[in-house]
Amino acid sequence: MTIAPRIYLASKSPRRRDLLRQIGVNFDVLTFRSGERGEDPDVDETPLPGEAVERYVERLALAKAQAGVRRVRWRKLLPQPVLSADTTLELDGEIIGKPRDSADAHAILARLSGRSHRVLTALAVSDGERTRSRLSTSEVRFRTLSEHDIRRYIATGEPMDKAGAYGIQGHAAIFIEEIRGSYSGIMGLPLFDTAALLDVFGYPL
């Protein structure tokens, strides 16, 4: 009997899980625990001084994939390719990640109001021998948001765990006038690039 190929997903994001299921990828979620065996703390997401957003997001995706491979070895799990991703937002040359609290979410959304910004998602796949990455860049334009729009959206709780304080697949869809690029990339997993990377590692799609 042929065993269906599988990968590890080094992400807790339910959106990334749903997107992988959408294209028929079989996966196991690889959870991270900070400081496992005292040797490998979770990936530090602090931008380096002067670091370009493209380099930042790719560095994190690669670090997560490589940390995932180490965990597979530590836990003596079945060897399978590890897929990781990192998504961030760029506005005026500044890297904008997840909001610290509701006040920060409010400040981020006010800055995005009536303007265009970039959403960058980097992917990385590693099997311990090879590591490959790809970068997806999209442009998103928000309509002008009122104070009521922002407060009502923050009250949903949706912005708090998302880069840029919004999720395109949720209520914030009504804020978006235009996108250029990958819709799934803005969600956090560009499926075209995901399929291309998995093909490099022999995963059939």
Which positions are catalytic?
Answer: 86
Element housing 3 (H / E): none
- C-alpha distances (whole Å) from 27 to each of 4, 10, 21, 167 are 10, 10, 9, 23
Length of the chain: 205
Burial class of 169 by CB neighbour count within 10 A (0 to 12, 13 to 18, 19+): middle
Q: Number of C-alpha atoms within 13 angstroms, CB side, residue 62?
A: 12
Q: Which residue type sits at 25?
A: V
Residue labelled with tokens 């995932």 = 68
DSSP 97: -
In three-state secondary structure terms, 133 is strand
